[in-house]
Amino acid sequence: MAEAVAVTGLGVVAPCGVGADAFWQGLLRQPADGDRRVPDWDPQPYFENPKTARRADLFTQYALGAAAMALEGAGSLDTDPSRIGVMIGTGIGGIATNEEQIVIRHEKGDRRVSPFLIPMMMPNAAAAAVSMKYGLQGPCEATVTACAAGTHSIGNATNAIRSGRCDVMVAGGSEAPFTPTALAGFRNMTALSSSGHSKPFDIARDGFVMSEGAAVLVLEKLEVAKARGAEILGLVLGSASTADAYHITAPAPGGSGAIQCMEQALADAEIGASDVVHINAHGTSTALNDAAEAHAVAKVFGTPGPIVTSTKGVTGHALGAAGALEAAAVLLSIRHRLVPPTFGLVDPDPELPDIDLVMGEAREWEPGPSLSNSFGFGGHNGTVVIAPA
């Protein structure tokens, strides 16, 4: 088997719960209708003072919160800071700050534009903020691959450890996309659900429900984690990244890019399709994406195949943070020995292959190698393979 990387810390900021325990409980509850926003967010615990918090876009605030939880959970990292890196992905970065300042310039003129606009809106702001707060001097990067960004960040961070460049990586994704223009853009391209319901793989699915949040993992060389007696939450066995090279928003027919991505991830992990027992699907609740993924899963694993769920039925679609939130869900499914149901799924689309979708209530399972899939606009595909410690 390929070299495994240990997960020793986990932090989550999500609409259904802030903190790993609250997030897990949220995944087991029927969600409210409509947009999924983080309620009653207080950034202050993660900043020196209110002024520094105001100078960080919401997506950076979420990332700092999730990173703080993950690092606290990981415990003391007695490691050379030049060998600790940060990779936090995003789809659209500080779009709220960007839109706000465009309106200010239009209404009040150039001189009223904030001097903090650029450092607040840039997609690498979250990764940079985590690096600076904790003095982490290894690679500090922001993967921007739409809805695959969080998954790609975890995969890239795993490779940084496996290559020998780093001993520890802080990795995940963060997103705060709620602006009038962003919502209008997604709505006008008919990507958003008109009913306000996320219904992954359901015959009545009509688009995704917008979401926000962040999830961050602390990844370590397995021998380092064992040597310091860290609690190991799970292992990242491998990952893959491919491109459809087909269309800017639609997936390749039959999920060909997704098929290649899952197969390459299995090869990277040095396991076979028959070893996989669970898949946290991308499962956005859009007609084309759910169909492409279901056909891809059936092609790689057969039917009924592994246990499949989409936690977007609860969380909605947090774009560049989605893959990190779903990797967190897999780790928590391993901890609790339960796979959450696909909320919103009532009548599986009969045109889709007969994959083993969890619906209605959570399902007990014997944890084993699992996939977390993410597929983004631009044809970006990402898969990580996660297993029990």
Active site residues: 147, 282, 317
The helix-helix angle for 180-188 and 95-108 (nearest 10°) equals 110
**Which token pair is 255?**
């999920």
- The CA distances from residue 263 to 139, 207, 271, 329, 345, in Å, are 28, 27, 10, 22, 27
Question: Which distant-in-sequence residues (6+ apart) come within 8 Å of 211 by Cβ?
Answer: 14, 15, 35, 36, 37, 175, 312, 315, 316, 317, 318, 319, 321, 322
CA quadruple 291, 292, 298, 303: dihedral, nearest 10: 0
d(CA 239, CA 263): 10
C-alpha span between 372 and 345 (Å, rounded):
19
Task: Characterize 183-209 residue by residue with b for buried, 16 or more Cβ atoms within 10 angstroms of its Cβ, and e for exposed.
Answer: eeebeeeebbbebebbbbbbeebbbbb
Instruction: Kindly write down the DSSP assignment for every residue of 325-384, as one continuous string.
Output: HHHHHHHHHHHHTEE---TT-SSB-TTS---EE--SS-EE-----EEEEEEETTTEEEEE
Measured CA to CA, the distance from residue 175 to residue 128 in angstroms comes to 15
Beta-bridged to residue 213, according to DSSP, are 175
Q: Of 87, 70, 67, 71, give the one whose Cα is nearest residue 79.
A: 71
Selection from 65, 368, 373 nearest residue 234 by Cα: 368
Tell me how far CA of residue 385 lies from CA of 151, 158, 225, 313, 368, in angstroms: 10, 11, 19, 22, 10
Residues whose CB falls within 8 Å of the CB of residue 115, separated by 6 or more in sequence, listed in order: none
